[in-house]
Homo-oligomer: A and B are copies of this chain.
């Protein structure tokens, strides 16, 4: 991939099931609008407790390739 340039964006997925599910949802959502999604890094795992139920929250950084017509500043 030499000479390619990639961009990283921070997203947070949430799920009532598990951290794994929250990660999958976040990546699914990113793939809807990001072309050329390549890799991701888990940055933070947290959660909330609402009415006795756990809500899992995962912060991840997702990287994709900047192709010719992608504005970098977005």
Contact = CB atoms under 8 A, between A and B. Distances in A.
Interface of A: 1-16, 18-20, 23-27, 29-35, 37-42, 44-49, 52, 54-55, 59, 61, 63-64, 66, 70-74
Contact of A11 (B20, B23, B27, B72): B72
A14 B29 contact: no
Contact of A14 (B5, B20, B42): B5
Contacts of A38: 48-49
A32 to B, nearest CB: 7
B14 A7 contact: no
Nearest to A39: B48
Nearest to A34: B73
